[in-house]
Amino acid sequence: MSWFWKIVLGLFIFLFSIVDLIGQNPDFKFYKKITKVKKNSLYALKSENGELIAPFFYTDILRVKHTKYALLFRDSYFTIFDIDKKVSVSQTIEIADFDNLNEVNGEVCINPDYAIIGKMNEKMGAIGIDGAVKIRFEHDELSLVDSSFYAAKKNGNYAIIRADFSRISTFDIPLILGAWNNYVVCWKYARWIFVGFDATENKTIDTDVITWKSFSKDGKFGVISSDGQEIIPFEYDSVIVCDNSFHIIAKKNNKVGLIDAEKKVILDFRFDKITEDGTGKFLLQDGIKHGFYILGKEIIWN
């Protein structure tokens, strides 16, 4: 054999060995060993020897990235499938947060410490990617407040569940607005309070200065301060907190106005658009007119 063909053969053997190593990588197993196949608009999973390990029954099949699990969907219902063991490891659950699965190229990224919120027998709960029930299916409502907290509702009141699935409050909270600096903002004792990760109930958030944050309630927006004060009521279509000037740009009945730190309306709700430029100047649009407003001065139209 000539030296040329020896080099060609050597390169072929080298490339074949690289491909073989890749094929042994468990991250490629869903594609190399198990194939997602489609027939008559339904999907199945097929092993390398042609065996159907999941039948043509599912409207979609998504692999959970970097794991041995797949989500088998039938319309709005799903079950978790262990690819290695070739068996479903969860009951059939109606999914509640499909839009948050973030599918990319047939895969979904799910933090193994998180859970998928769903519904079973008309009650809500959550399961991990291994099929284990993390939050029991006994709640009327269940939602992720942020990456640290869940809000669970039962018999008209809420309780707070931490990301490690331990409950840190009883079902005695009438309303939960959202999260703020690792606290959950709650209406309780006829005032706004902040419940921390350690279950403490605080009247203020530990910050160097008082700050404001907007939240929504029943489809309307308002603003709460970090010491639990309601700066403006929940009656606006949208609000923007201006951090540089402690003013609020609010929208109501499709018109925009400006509210100051004393909760007074200083620009009536008659503008199409108000924006803050970061220097204490507010840019205004009223129909075809454009101008600006500086705090304490008159409006100047261009």
Question: Does the pLDDT of residue 102 top 80, yes or no?
Answer: no
| Per-residue pLDDT reduced to its tens digit, 179-217 | 998 899 999 988 999 998 888 888 888 767 778 899 999
| Per-residue pLDDT reduced to its tens digit, 154-173 | 999 999 999 889 998 999 99
Q: Give the least confident one: 219-223, 251-255, 274-278.
A: 274-278
Q: How far apart are CA 145 and CA 57, in angstroms?
A: 34
Portion of the chain with pLDDT greater than 70, in percent: 85
Q: How far apart are CA 237 and CA 266, in angstroms?
A: 18
**What's the fold here for domain 207-302?**
N-terminal domain of TfIIb (2.20.25)
pLDDT band at 262 (very low <50, low <70, confident <90, very high): confident
CB 89 within 8 A of CB 131: yes
Phi, psi (5° rounding) for residue 49?
A: -95, 10
State whether residue 109 is helix, strand or coil: coil
**Whole-angstrom distance between the N-terminal and C-terminal Cα of the chain?**
86
| Per-residue pLDDT reduced to its tens digit, 44-82 | 998 888 888 899 999 999 888 888 889 999 988 999 999
Mean pLDDT of the chain, nearest integer: 84
Q: How far apart are CA 291 and CA 284, in angstroms?
A: 5
What would the mean pLDDT of 228-237 be, rounded to a whole number?
A: 92
Q: Give the least confident one: 12-16, 102-106, 254-258.
A: 12-16
Question: Does the pLDDT of residue 5 top 70, yes or no?
Answer: no
pLDDT band at 31 (very low <50, low <70, confident <90, very high): very low
Q: Where are the domains of the chain?
A: 1-26, 33-139, 207-302
